[in-house]
Amino acid sequence: MKVCILGNGLISLTLAKTLVNQGIYVDIFSSNNNFKYKKTQTLGISKSNIDFFNKNILNIKNLSWDINKIEIYSENLNNEKILDFKNHNEKLFSIIKNHELYNLLFVSLKKNHKCNFKKILNSKNLLERDYKLIINTDIYSPFTKKFFHRKIQKDYKSLAYTSIIRHKKLENNIASQIFTAKGPLAFLPISNTETSIVYSYNGRDEFNFKKLVNRFNKYYKILSYQKVSSFELKLVNLRSYYYKNILAFGDLLHKIHPLAGQGFNMSLRDINEVLKLINLKKKNGLELDNSICKDFEDRMKHKNFIFSNCVDFIYEYFNFESKIKNKILSKTVKYLGKNYSLNKYFTKIADSGLII
């Protein structure tokens, strides 16, 4: 069995590693052989997804930094804490540097004879190859423009600014997020001396990143900042997940606001579902073909759409509060957060996705 993957990003390599672990041959085609992640980019992976990754893909314990508590604050309530999540000192999720995870996956796949990296020269030639299943993660692929242009899209008209601060050593296992007047600001620990900063800024005027971080910093004696980078924020859901034997995947399939750190987690849940479909095919002695595309869409499209819009609702909820300058919404969240059952349920949703 052989599968074609278009794109060589983090999701592509994660999916490829999952497939070769199942004895499936993979050809990875890329239009960008010099692809690199910025060293300030980090991602959060939930506990259930970390367990899935370590068991089915690759052991990443040495790369991940565990978070055992999340604290949520609101500038509208004078930076008062309105929520916290914890699980009896067990990790809630882990933070990993994108480029470190990417390099580990790339080296592992390069050594695996079941995986081949190739450059796309002509899309017509690719179609003529004997692939019964093509998985497209490449937003610049000719297939994307031709078959996957119909989507539900929302432009937040804002940028996410990222950096990593170096600070004096401390026990650093608490992640925090502050809903500021101009967007959510997250402090995500990656070691006892480093913390990732992600600020989603929806204002139009210029601002001083360092001053803003210092203003909301509660824990750290900062020594230095890495270079600040930024990217545009959009909400995207494809209307159709596949065309014939070509399945859309990763950021091409769905993009969400980074405030909940769920983008990569959604794709890992997608990979888990693909793995289940593959194992079902193998169990029944069937080949991997375009039926996986339809089955995957039937199982995941509604879940991904609802989940991504739930994240969007959280963003708009606090954004609306900032616009009307009323404290009632944050006070409501604070009140609901004191309910143990609700708090536990929200924690479970963040870990495993929607319970539907």
**Which pLDDT score is estimated for 46?**
94
CATH fold group of domain 2-352 = FAD/NAD(P)-binding domain (3.50.50)
From the list 257, 168, 193, the residue with the least C-alpha distance to 65 is 193
At a CB cut-off of 8 Å and minimum separation 6, what does 267 contact? 11, 14, 249, 250, 251, 253
Cβ atoms of 95 and 50 closer than 8 Å: no
Beta bridge partners of 165: 195, 225
Q: What is the predicted pLDDT for the residue at 317?
A: 87
In tens digits, what is the pLDDT along the chain, a chain of 356 residues? Answer: 889 999 999 999 999 999 999 999 999 998 766 667 888 899 999 999 999 999 999 999 999 999 999 999 999 888 889 888 887 778 899 999 999 999 999 999 999 999 999 877 555 556 656 788 999 999 888 889 889 999 999 999 999 999 999 999 999 999 999 999 899 999 999 999 999 999 999 887 888 999 999 999 989 999 999 999 999 999 999 999 999 999 999 999 999 999 888 999 999 999 999 999 999 998 888 888 889 999 999 999 999 999 999 999 989 888 887 777 777 777 787 777 777 777 777 777 777 776 55
Strand 115-119 and strand 25-30: the pairing is parallel
Identify residue 190 by its one-letter amino acid code: I
**Cα dihedral value 272, 276, 277, 278, nearest 10:** 100
Task: Kindly report the number of other CB atoms within 10 A of residue 43's CB atom.
Answer: 20
Judge contact between 61 and 54, C-beta under 8 A: yes
C-alpha 346/C-alpha 337 separation (Å) is 9
CA 28 vs. chain centroid, Å, equals 21
Cα dihedral 18, 24, 30, 35, rounded to 10, equals 30
pLDDT at residue 326, rounded to an integer: 73
3-class SS of residue 333: helix
Tell me what pLDDT residue 123 has.
59
Nearest to 252 by CA among 134, 169, 148, 161: 148
* Token code pair at residue 58: 């690759």
> Which distant-in-sequence residues (6+ apart) come within 8 Å of 336 by Cβ?
342
> For residue 57, what is the DSSP state?
T
